[in-house]
Amino acid sequence: MASADIYSRLLEKNRRVTDGFQYTIPSSGTYPYQWLWDSCFHAIILSHFSPADAKKEILSLLSKQFQNGMIPHMIYWKNFKKVSFRQIEWGKDGTSTITQPPMIAYAVWQIFQKGHDIDFLKSTYQQLYHFYRYLLSERDPHGKHLIGIMNPDESGEDNSPRFDLPLNLPPIQTREENMQKRLNLVAQNIECKFDAPFCMRNFFWVKDVPFNAIMVANLKMLAKIAQKLDRQEDSVYFAKQAEDISQAMRKFMPEDGIFYSTFGEDYKKIRIKTWAIFTPLFAEILSREEAKKLVSEHLLNKNEFWTKFPVPTTAIDEPSFDPKGFWRGPTWIAVNWFIYKGLINYGFTEIAKEIKESSKNLIAKSGFREYFNPETGEGLGAKNFTWGGLVTDMTPGG
């Protein structure tokens, strides 16, 4: 079997059609629903094999957009009964009530690169506009140009140690303790009817580095999409928003060359080194010198992120590091993809290649697992997990 086939087969196997909508589930045993950033990853992978299926993935994701523009991070489509996945009740039927890192404009632009289907851009633009406008207004109610999340799950990194401080948890904790705190937060969110400005101000006031970096990169793509559609004013507006968020990140987040997520209205820095510190490379908000320092002092540092199977989600010298702890240490292929793209942005081609090779080796050694022990390469979590397909997009041009 040609190697590209392995990835396209995995996605085909996980493909589902419900109510006329086609989408891909991340893993049949563990995650039998549609997730927001997963679907963007699927669309990016599919753009290489089958742009038509990539478009369908995006259209099903957009189909459940809320009136206020938010796109939910989960669409259940059907009620599956027997799953090992622990279901959180998000206070609504059919979808969750929170969002996830906004990778949609990036995915749509990448699909457009394969075939230049302007009608696809036209048919999705209004919804993208509405979604990013929602994030810019509802998630930044005071116009500070930093986008807030109201629950750790909105980051896509459910139990990351970046959220220990806001959740009032110690660095060493059990999954259950972490889950309990997040469930309490969901109960508060339900009580305040998921009114984002209110929920953020009162319960979880976090400006997360990856979410904002991903927002910057996506706003730049949205500006390109608007331009293609001859919407000059929108294009200038979104490019300016990307610039404003970059500036605000540079103002509130860095210390000694590292960008940290912030907590509370006085932007208290959450000084935990996770892979998040590399996402400013993805958003291209560092100077060349800053990027060089970050890569040599932290990414390539054997005491922090350069493990036998890089890149661990949490630096190994952090007290919270746990090589099997979900987002508290293991290597995830999507994380490697973000870092790969960031390295390419700054011309670190050789290191990017190493990350690509190491990602492929992990899959060859341990299969399409959800995440991997960064020291031994052991596969962990869900099986037949789709994110491994992102290695097909680890190419310099996308």
Contact positions vs ligand GLC (CB under 6 A): 26, 31, 35, 37-38, 156, 158
Q: How far is the CB of 184 from ligand GLC (least distance, A)?
A: 18
Nearer to ligand GLC, 74 or 253 (CB): 74
In this structure, what are the phi and psi dihedrals at residue 209, rounded to the nearest 5 degrees?
-65, -55
Q: How far is the CB of 172 from ligand GLC (least distance, A)?
A: 20
Checking phi first, is residue 121 left (phi over 0); if not, alpha (psi -120 to 50) or beta?
A: alpha
Q: Which of helix, strand or coil describes residue 251?
A: helix
What are the residue ranges of helices labelled H in the chain? 3-13, 36-49, 51-62, 104-113, 118-138, 164-167, 175-191, 196-203, 209-228, 232-252, 279-282, 288-294, 333-345, 349-366
Measured between its terminal Cα atoms, the distance across the chain in Å is 23
DSSP assignment of 324-356, as one string? TSGGGS-B-HHHHHHHHHHHHHTT-HHHHHHHH
Cα–Cα nearest to 73, from 40, 28, 111: 40
In this structure, what are the phi and psi dihedrals at residue 152, rounded to the nearest 5 degrees?
-55, -35
Q: How far is the CB of 163 from ligand GLC (least distance, A)?
A: 12
Nearer to ligand GLC, 38 or 138 (CB): 38
Cα–Cα nearest to 388, from 105, 98, 13: 13
205, 165 Cβ separation under 8 angstroms: no
Nearer to ligand GLC, 295 or 333 (CB): 333
**Biggest alpha carbon distance in the chain?**
55
Q: How far is the CB of 300 from ligand GLC (least distance, A)?
A: 26
- Site of tokens 């080194």: 273
Nearer to ligand GLC, 158 or 284 (CB): 158
Q: Provide the sign of the torsion angle of the four alpha carbons 60, 66, 69, 70, taken in this order.
A: negative
Count CB neighbours of 310 within 10 A: 22
Count CB neighbours of 7 within 10 A: 22
Give the Cα-Cα-Cα angle 151, 222, 278 (nearest 5 degrees).
Answer: 55
Count CB neighbours of 193 within 10 A: 10
Q: How far is the CB of 236 from ligand GLC (least distance, A)?
A: 33
Q: How far is the CB of 188 from ligand GLC (least distance, A)?
A: 20
Nearer to ligand GLC, 222 or 334 (CB): 334
Q: How far is the CB of 175 from ligand GLC (least distance, A)?
A: 12
Nearer to ligand GLC, 156 or 374 (CB): 156
Q: How far is the CB of 4 from ligand GLC (least distance, A)?
A: 22
Residues in the chain: 398
Nearer to ligand GLC, 12 or 158 (CB): 158
Nearer to ligand GLC, 254 or 325 (CB): 325
Nearer to ligand GLC, 29 or 91 (CB): 29
Q: How far is the CB of 35 from ligand GLC (least distance, A)?
A: 4
Count CB neighbours of 142 within 10 A: 10
Nearer to ligand GLC, 37 or 106 (CB): 37
Q: How far is the CB of 271 from ligand GLC (least distance, A)?
A: 23
| 81 class by beta-carbon count within 10 Å (0-12 exposed, 13-18 middle, 19+ buried) | exposed
